[in-house]
A and B are shown apart, each in its own frame.
Chain A
């Protein structure tokens, strides 16, 4: 994460949509204690900004939205996860079983 974002750079902003006191009355207790938050990616419309500053972005479809700069060049962090031993054993056992062998033999 770079310290400064420049105009036109792809960034992520964050803003509070509803404070806890503004939330719907019907939400569960735990949800009602925290704000409703929003994250959005877009191109920085300001000349230069640092993390934590209020900025304006232009989204990929051209909407202008204000919020706090939280990330520059945001990347997808999700992955395929780690090997799961409980799943890895299924394939060999089932193949043997379909071929006529014992499942746990």
Chain B
């Protein structure tokens, strides 16, 4: 077998087809368009099945806790009558310590059902530990492929911690240096082993998160008597947001607003060897959040089941320094040591709560485990060692890759609202670029409209501007 880069990439489609067991061709319409809902309903599972699959491996049914102390703090820094109540879904209570167990549980179940001997996932994040943990529970072998080191051989502490966790669950961890060719090596391993591609972006991976949205709605009705007004979701590849939103819709929570939150890492190039260790967050940031929102099909499967722009009502950015502050806050006044990346949504939620009325509610829908390498002191120590200035001050002065500014006062916490109209337009531009044409069929325009929430005329206007 020719394992040269171009040869393997040329076999990409056939390798993928064998490795996920989904005939994606069935859902193709034409060009950019495919039947998303048909794919989700035929390949995915309904909520009862998902809950059954997840209960078999102890996933889900995590506590929803009101952040009483943080809510008191919010009232103190809000105008009279303002200050929504924040509730936190403690997803760290899942077996491997994050909501990613929900995604992994369904993928690994599917792999076992179809008779695969093992699973592979390309991930530097919590998902690796989740796949490894679920594979352990179902008796499958597991390989996790990580982007870990820069060319000096210096690893991101957070990623090294994930490697440790994966190995603790019995997985083989393949660690690579920086670069998008990780995907190439991932294909080499899929071909060599014949294992299942436990991609984050199959319908299985997304359907697994639907239980999170459904569950939190049930819990909110039990506690407050109604669905939450807002759910804030830490946003990277879009699966967390898509699955949660779909679960909320299935629960009938149609008025709940879905707010995405990412750490702003603008200016740092995700595939750059020198930028790699200048970031203190390896996920939940704009380096994934924006590209995956504007071009979902950049993922490791032919059609990405995570399509965030369909469900996103607002998109808020916060800084690294603010998220570290809030992570400390959660530990110090709520007694919950979690995050930090999962706390991105909590950081945005605090500012959002100040703007809302005091009878409104917000759910922050995840937490993640913390530990060596991935707690604020580890990440800030690493930042300092890599030449980043860490200081207190106005968080508006944060500069990704240069300065991390920890707020001096909680009323300095703020968010930057992304213009969703611009992101939607950017999707259209990406579509034109990826397809290499400016003419689209009616079916394609309908698909783009569903995928972006833009009207047909708005799409045509963007295309016209590009001509």
User: B-contacting residues of A (Cβ < 8 Å)?
Assistant: 17-18, 22-24, 26-28, 30-31, 33-42, 59-63, 76-84, 86-87, 89-91, 94-95, 97-98, 103-104
Q: How far is the CA of A84 from the CA of B110 in the complex (A)?
A: 44
Residues of B close to A80: CB separation below 8 A: 372, 375, 377-378
Contact A24 B325 (CB under 8 A): no
- A26 CA to B192 CA, complexed, in Å: 26
Q: What A residues does B172 contact at CB under 8 A?
A: 40-42, 59-61, 63
Q: How far is the CA of A27 from the CA of B175 in the complex (A)?
A: 19
Residue in contact with B164 in the complex, picked from A35, A78, A98, CB distance below 8 Å: A78
Q: A82-B381, A94-B410 are in contact. Are A17 and B181 (CB under 8 A)?
A: yes
For chain B, residues 299 to 337, give those with C-beta under 8 angstroms from any C-beta of chain A.
Answer: 324-325, 328-329, 331-333
> Shortest distance in angstroms between B8's beta carbon and chain A's nearest beta carbon?
11
CB distance from A84 to the nearest CB of B (A): 5
B contacts with A: majority SS: mixed
Measured in the bound complex, the distance between the Cα atoms of B160 and A26 in whole Å is 26
B178 contacts partner chain A, Cβ-Cβ < 8 Å: yes
Asked if A38 and B175 sit within 8 Å, CB to CB, the answer is yes
Given known A84-B377, A90-B325, contact A30–B176 (CB-CB < 8 A) = no
Cα distance, A90 to B334, chains bound together (Å): 13
**Cα(A81)–Cα(B143), bound, Å:** 29
B206 at the interface (CB under 8 A from A): no
**Chain A contacts for B40, CB-based, 8 A:** none
Q: What is B's interface to A at a CB cutoff of 8 Å?
A: 4-5, 69, 72-73, 76, 118, 141-143, 148-149, 151, 155, 157, 160-161, 164, 167, 170-181, 184-185, 192-193, 269, 271-274, 324-325, 328-329, 331-333, 372-373, 375-382, 390-392, 406, 408-410
Pairwise interchain contact A98-B76, C-beta atoms closer than 8 A: yes
In contact, A86 and B390 (Cβ under 8 angstroms): yes
SS class, residues of chain A in contact with chain B: loop
Instruction: Give the one of B155, B171, B181 with max A CB within 10 A.
Output: B181
Given contacts A31-B179, A87-B406, contact A39 B332 (CB under 8 A): no
- Shortest Cβ distance from residue B112 to the other chain A in the assembled complex, whole angstroms: 16
Find chain B residues with CB under 8 A from A34 CB.
151, 177, 273
The residues of A that contact B377 with a CB separation of less than 8 Å are 80-84, 87
Task: Evaluate contact between A38 and B185: CB separation under 8 angstroms.
Answer: yes
The 6 closest A-B pairs by CB, nearest first: A81-B381, A91-B332, A78-B373, A81-B378, A34-B151, A81-B377
For the complex, what is the distance from the CA of A79 to the CA of B160, rounded to whole Å? 10
Most buried by B among A31, A33, A41, A63: A31
CB within 8 Å for A98 and B372 given contacts A39-B148, A87-B328:
no
Which residue of chain B is the closest to A26 with respect to CB atoms?
Answer: B180
Complex Cα–Cα for A95 and B335 (A): 12
Closest partner residue, chain A, to B159 (CB atom)? A78
Docked CA distance A23–B273 (Å): 13
Min CB gap A97→B, angstroms: 7
* B332 x A40 contact (CB < 8 A): no
Asked if residues A61 and B171 are in contact (CB atoms below 8 Å), the reply is yes
Instruction: Please determine whether A30 and B409 come into contact, CB atoms closer than 8 angstroms.
Output: no
Considering the chains assembled together, what is the distance between the CA atoms of A104 and B164 in angstroms? 40
A27-B180, A40-B173, A41-B167 known; 20 new pairs, CB 8 Å cut-off, are A18-B181, A22-B5, A23-B5, A31-B272, A36-B181, A61-B170, A62-B141, A78-B164, A78-B378, A79-B372, A82-B377, A82-B381, A84-B376, A84-B380, A84-B381, A86-B380, A86-B406, A91-B331, A91-B332, A98-B72
When the two chains form their complex, are residues B328 and A91 in contact, meaning their CB atoms are under 8 A apart? yes
B-chain residues with CB within 8 Å of residue A39 when the two chains form the complex: 148-149, 175-176
Q: Smallest Cβ distance from A92 to chain B, in angstroms? A: 8
Residues of A within 8 A of B375 (CB): 80-81
Contacting residues, chain A, for B180 (C-beta < 8 A): 24, 26-27
Chain B residue at minimal CB-CB distance from A29? B272
Residues of B within 8 A of A87 (CB): 324-325, 328, 376-377, 380, 406
Q: A37-B176, A90-B329, A94-B332 are in contact. Are A81 and B379 (CB under 8 A)?
A: yes
